[in-house]
Amino acid sequence: MLKQAVAKLPKDAKPILHSDQGWQYQMADYQ
């Protein structure tokens, strides 16, 4: 699942690999 998401991202988006919890917090904060 994570690999598929990363595959769709540009190489520059690598930080998402260890920021996976960060996006969850942002999503929760967004709603």
Q: How many domains does the chain have?
A: 1
Nearest to 17 by CA among 7, 29, 6, 4: 6
* pTM of the model as a whole: 0.20
pLDDT interval class at 30 (50, 70, 90): low
What is residue 18's three-state secondary structure?
coil
Q: Which domain holds residue 24?
A: 1-31
pLDDT at residue 16 tops 60 = no
